[in-house]
Structure 1
């Protein structure tokens, strides 16, 4: 008997459209093997999109009634980037309803979504990272103190946002206030990081058939100043999979990515970003619910290692 799957997509942030693209791609690769429904989780409405119609989701038990039949779900395939799918809110809600879902559990998702907290935990395990400075909305902007801590150039980022929303590369002291205000449009917490000069790579780590497995490494060469939204989603970058690294470099960053996956008690499909700085991979961030669009990096990596997207997405459901 086929399992009944809800693909949760959308969310409440600037990443909503990208999330819907991820969800639609997952749907296309699962629809022949499962009873699959597209669950749109939007700020003002939760509904299932089925046969070109909207059917409201009953939030009391995450069910939907279609043609007089009540449908409940065995597993939720979570493709929501940002809140409430990547920051633990959906996970906690579904756990209370005893419904399985495909990504990290609520606490672990909350931790990884908060860049500042995640970096603080990983530093305690000796994971190399950039120097960083934390700013909260309402704090006095002390540009001299920021520069003293992280130097110039530096990156000013929204603490809890993805797809490079709310991020600026700052080159002068005068640019710092504007960059902070830009980040505050996405979140009331900001992280300011030192510039790491080196090659940027991305490593997918998945739980595949019960084994934690690093996928082939992708090198990211952006045509823009850094790997921003335009570079990610509008072709303004080269994404080379597998990356042109030495065997030792490949092994070191894959081992580090697997170690981080295990420290943070991740599950499902994840992707971590690193910069090779002075020959050593430095951790930037981890995506507990990474992009799964046709243009996204993790699907590229799965294909490079011989895992079809149907197998990748089906495995996430079975592991859940």
Structure 2
């Protein structure tokens, strides 16, 4: 029976969502094939959480756990359910790669690239993918508000380059709002993006990719009750999500082909979820999540359900693929 470490938590406000995702994974692994363990990873501690909420410290040198003086727990695979850093940006992927421990999700190079919106958008633009007009800014870099507004227009969005769940994002309507929004975004990251506002239909597209076989899940249409699809909208009922989305077959087909193209360009494996804005039938890429939420309120599990794919079956294939693929490490 394979011993599976389900890592959850993380170093950001997304940790609470990650704990919910990790719980879903824990509850849906087939106990006849897998022996799962809940591993909490926070800045101040890495621990195995026991059945009675007793904690066992992780040996970070080899990711093992000393249960007793005569028993050391080693894992056959790590199921990564951490949203944001250090689970989604390539840090932990690099760590497990060095230790030669199989892990779910894309390679650490792809994780680092996709988590950084600046790098990801810049690359995809080179392949002809539609994106919003953008302006990139690093901390302590001098800038002119007039030049930014001239390029991206108003309203616009100000975003941290490396952050998830819409943390640190602002929608700016007036020039006077730009500087406070930039300061807010810099609290989340040293690199930020200003993007033009795209008026259209927001959609979310889940993708499964194993052995270069790409499956696009039913598309979700997002109607936010707030000004945009922010943290509250995503996790606290501030949006209406319609799956499958109300799209013409021709547009749906276009989005499916685009999602596959992006997956191939980025050389992704495992599961992911991309966000787009449909402007007059043309999809504009916003961002991609390589560790999408798996909680009961998350979009990806709902798409799986519509597609008739059980979480248990997906998780088994995910782990088996990760172990098999790790033989090349």
Length-normalised TM-score, structure 2: 0.95
- Give the Cα–Cα distance (whole angstroms) in 2 for the partners of residues 291 and 233 of structure 1: 10
Once the 2 structures are TM-superposed, how far is the Cα of residue 127 of structure 1 from its aligned partner? 0.6
Q: Determine if contact 1:141/1:177 at 8 Å carries over to the other structure.
A: no
What's the CA shift string for 1:13-53, capped at 9, x where partnerless? 12111111111111110152410001111111101111221
> Which of 114, 117, 120 is the matching residue for 1:118?
120
Note the residue ranges of structure 2 that are not aligned, 5 or more in a row.
323-329
Aligned length: 319
> Which of 109, 112, 117 is the matching residue for 2:111?
109
1:50 equivalent in alignment to 2:50: yes
Once the 2 structures are TM-superposed, how far is the Cα of residue 140 of structure 1 from its aligned partner? 2.7
- Give the Cα–Cα distance (whole angstroms) in 2 for the partners of residues 316 and 218 of structure 1: 22
Paired residue secondary structure (2:227): coil
What's the CA shift string for 1:200-237, capped at 9, x where partnerless? 00000112586211000000000000000000000110
Q: Determine if contact 2:30/2:312 at 8 Å carries over to the other structure.
A: no
Greater shift in the superposed pair: 119-128 or 203-212: 203-212
What's the CA shift string for 1:169-221, capped at 9, x where partnerless? 10111100000111111111100100011000000011258621100000000
Paired residue secondary structure (2:87): coil
Q: 1:37: which partner in 2?
A: 37
Q: 1:63: which partner in 2?
A: 64
Q: 2:289: which partner in 1?
A: 287
Note the residue ranges of structure 1 that are not aligned, 5 or more in a row.
none
1:51-200 correspondence runs (5 A): 51=51, 52-68=53-69, 69-200=71-202
Once the 2 structures are TM-superposed, how far is the Cα of residue 318 of structure 1 from its aligned partner? 1.3
Paired residue secondary structure (1:80): coil
Paired residue secondary structure (1:83): coil
Q: 2:3: which partner in 1?
A: 4
Paired residue secondary structure (1:295): coil
- Give the Cα–Cα distance (whole angstroms) in 2 for the partners of residues 211 and 17 of structure 1: 32
Greater shift in the superposed pair: 123-132 or 9-18: 9-18
Q: Determine if contact 2:3/2:76 at 8 Å carries over to the other structure.
A: yes
Q: Determine if contact 2:131/2:284 at 8 Å carries over to the other structure.
A: yes
What's the CA shift string for 1:228-264, capped at 9, x where partnerless? 0000000110111100101111111111111111111
Paired residue secondary structure (1:101): coil
